[in-house]
């Protein structure tokens, strides 16, 4: 693509590709506004399929006074800004406003800078991305004045950081905080859960604590799938993965450890033997071991998404509305649209485009289609809620999911 023909989608795709690459641990998460999910841009200019694939996933996320072209957290190159994100409690929330050449042959860089500046009410870093040739000394000066980074996208698909913004501390709003959450270790993604019984995750802290290699202990007493058990334990906040591949128990994991040791008179081997007796056991945990089910309930409920979800299901049941899956998602979307989409809907171009219009509105008919949902939520996560006694019915894997038959009724409504 030539510099003088770069559209906003092309500018944004190059920016995302070059600047928002994440790291080897898989941290970092970005979404692009739903206006870019179309196959044509302004004046019916086609958007190449490879550009759309680069921009995905899509969502319509409000930050500050509006909806940025890109919202990301924890994934931006460290040499593109000034300051240190370690001063913040969570990964920095980043917004980008992209501008490209339109029918007039001009690039409205000033508007992009002002838009990015206005998003700093709820973001830590703001950028304008535009074709390199359109950025003048005045553009750079305005960016410096308003603390907005200036990114020049070149014709060879590289990005020059022309002005670096300073990291600012700010209160991130509820909708934008979902993106920050998705950049952390408890992000909802395919790697979050692969095992659907809480005992596999509750047993992991005991294997970490045991003096022998964790993987060997886990295989003997709990489950063979080491990676899935480890990922799930991290997702639930029971452990913290270390850069060297080791694990450290979180405060929550330590409390689970204390419970098990107290129950078994400080005998770690006795705890592990109890877990071993549950291998290949399909009985609901509330019936198999009610005390451990209460621990599982406590752990699962400490996961922030559970609290939001339970509150919304409770509202539906209080209003005598059946909490079947499409209704739950639609009800969530009314008050927490970013959470509803990020939690339940797969982060693929196909799923997001099926569920959201270009303006970010919900296409309710698509919620009847099983393929738009995250399997990890409608199956494994729902199984966790069922085994711990929070939900009354178990989950269904994606091949058997019938959204209108997937009931999310609370076991004990109030």
Predicted confidence (pLDDT) per residue in 338-359, tens digit: 999 999 999 899 999 999 999 9
Sign of CA dihedral 150, 153, 154, 156: positive
pLDDT bracket for residue 385 (50, 70, 90): very high
The pLDDT value given to residue 217: 97
The pLDDT value given to residue 377: 92
Residue range 19-23: mean pLDDT, rounded: 65
How many residues are present in the chain? Answer: 414
Tokens of residue 57, six digits:
């996933």
H helix or E strand, kind and range, residue 127? strand 125-131
Name the E strands within 55-124. 70-73, 93-98
- Residue with the bigger pLDDT between 120 and 90: it is 120
- Give the mean pLDDT of the chain: 89
pLDDT bracket for residue 2 (50, 70, 90): very low
The pLDDT value given to residue 84: 65
The pLDDT value given to residue 97: 96
Residue range 315-340: mean pLDDT, rounded: 94
The pLDDT value given to residue 1: 44
Residue range 99-119: mean pLDDT, rounded: 89
The pLDDT value given to residue 25: 45
- Give the percent of the chain with pLDDT over 90: 66
Residue 377 carries which DSSP code?
Answer: I
Given a cut of 50, whether residue 117 has pLDDT beyond it is yes
- Comparing CA positions, the residue from 193, 219, 230, 245 lying closest to residue 377 is 193
- Residue with the bigger pLDDT between 265 and 78: it is 265
Strand 70-73 and strand 239-241: the pairing is unpaired
Given a cut of 70, whether residue 4 has pLDDT beyond it is no
The pLDDT value given to residue 105: 77
pLDDT bracket for residue 99 (50, 70, 90): very high
Residue range 383-411: mean pLDDT, rounded: 92
The pLDDT value given to residue 77: 79
Name the E strands within 74-155. 93-98, 125-131, 149-153
Distance in angstroms (rounded) separating the CA atoms of residues 195 and 243: 24
Given a cut of 50, whether residue 220 has pLDDT beyond it is yes
Distance in angstroms (rounded) separating the CA atoms of residues 30 and 27: 10
Predicted confidence (pLDDT) per residue in 131-164, tens digit: 999 999 999 999 999 999 999 999 888 999 999 9
Residue range 16-39: mean pLDDT, rounded: 78
């Amino acid at each position: 693509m030539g510099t003088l023909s770069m559209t906003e989608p092309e500018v944004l795709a190059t920016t995302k590709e070059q600047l928002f690459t994440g790291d080897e641990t898989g941290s970092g998460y970005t979404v692009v506004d739903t206006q870019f999910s179309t196959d044509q841009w302004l004046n019916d200019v086609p958007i190449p399929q490879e550009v759309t694939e680069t921009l995905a996933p899509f969502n319509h996320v409000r930050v500050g006074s509006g909806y940025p072209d890109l919202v990301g957290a924890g994934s931006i190159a460290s040499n593109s800004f000034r300051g240190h994100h370690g001063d913040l409690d969570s990964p920095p929330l980043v917004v980008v406003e992209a501008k490209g050449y339109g029918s007039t042959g001009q690039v409205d860089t000033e508007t992009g800078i002002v838009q990015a500046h206005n998003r700093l009410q709820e973001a830590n870093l703001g950028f304008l991305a535009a074709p390199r040739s359109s950025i003048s000394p005045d553009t750079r000066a305005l960016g410096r004045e308003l603390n907005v980074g200036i990114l020049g996208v070149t014709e060879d698909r590289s990005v020059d950081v022309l002005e670096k913004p300073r990291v600012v501390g700010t209160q991130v709003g509820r909708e934008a905080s979902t993106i920050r959450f998705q950049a952390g270790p408890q992000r909802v993604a395919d790697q979050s859960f692969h095992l659907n019984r809480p005992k596999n995750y509750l047993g992991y802290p005991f294997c970490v604590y045991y003096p022998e290699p964790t993987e060997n202990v886990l295989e003997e007493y709990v489950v063979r799938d080491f990676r899935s058990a480890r990922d799930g334990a991290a997702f639930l906040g029971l452990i913290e993965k270390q850069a060297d591949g080791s694990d450290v128990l979180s405060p929550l994991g330590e409390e689970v450890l204390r419970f098990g040791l107290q129950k078994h008179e400080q005998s770690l081997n006795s705890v592990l033997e109890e877990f071993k007796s549950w291998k290949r056991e399909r009985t609901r945990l509330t019936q198999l071991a009610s005390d451990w089910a209460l621990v599982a309930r406590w752990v699962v409920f400490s996961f922030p998404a559970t609290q939001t979800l339970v509150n919304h299901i409770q509202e539906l049941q209080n209003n005598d509305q059946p909490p079947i899956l499409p209704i739950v998602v639609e009800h969530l979307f009314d008050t927490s649209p970013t959470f509803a989409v990020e939690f339940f809907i797969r982060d693929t171009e196909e799923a997001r485009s099926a569920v959201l219009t270009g303006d970010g509105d919900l296409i309710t008919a698509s919620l009847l289609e099983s393929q738009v949902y995250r399997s990890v939520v409608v199956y494994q996560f729902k199984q966790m809620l069922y085994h711990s006694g929070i939900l009354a019915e178990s989950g269904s894997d994606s091949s058997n999911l019938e959204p209108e038959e997937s009931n999310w009724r609370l076991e004990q409504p109030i």
